[in-house]
Amino acid sequence: KNEVEQSPQNLTAQEGEFITINCSYSVGISALHWLQQHPGGGIVSLFMLSSGKKKHGRLIATINIQEKHSSLHITASHPRDSAVYICAVLNRDDKIIFGKGTRLHILP
């Protein structure tokens, strides 16, 4: 069993839909990271959180430390949001453990 599990693996939605990507982890962490990787390959950091909720534009990330779960939400999704979204946790030994990613495709 992977230490970081993401769901769904693939998601196709229509433009404008509300998107939720989930991340569950089984190890103790000091922080959780949401990353975005576009088809060109570059990785961009979206959020780093250790508690609560963060919002940036149409993106919202939440984390529940007790339940070992985080969600990434996209409101009013747009085709340019199409990318792979990766959840990564920073464990107590300062290692980053990656999820397998969620491939999101937003149709116009």
For other proteins, the closer CB: 77 or 99 = 99
Structure token digits, residue 69? 């779960």
For other proteins, the closer CB: 96 or 107 = 96
Indicate whether 107 belongs to the interface with other proteins (CB under 8 A).
no
Of 15-23, 55-63, 74-82, 97-105, which part binds other proteins (CB under 8 A)?
Answer: 97-105
Cα–Cα distance for residue pair 76/65, rounded to 1 Å? 27
Indicate whether 10 belongs to the interface with other proteins (CB under 8 A).
no
If binding means CB under 8 A, how many residues of this protein chain bind other proteins?
22
Q: Are 59 and 47 in contact (CB under 8 A)?
A: yes
Cα–Cα distance for residue pair 23/6, rounded to 1 Å? 4
Q: What are phi and psi of 17, to 5 degrees?
A: -70, 155
Q: Give the residue, chosen from 21, 23, 29, 35, that forms a contact with other proteins under the rule CB under 8 A.
A: 35
Indicate whether 93 belongs to the interface with other proteins (CB under 8 A).
yes
3-state helix, strand, coil in the chain (%, to 5): 5, 60, 35
Chain contacts with other proteins (rule: CB under 8 A): 30-31, 33, 35, 41-45, 48, 50, 86, 88, 90, 93-98, 100-101
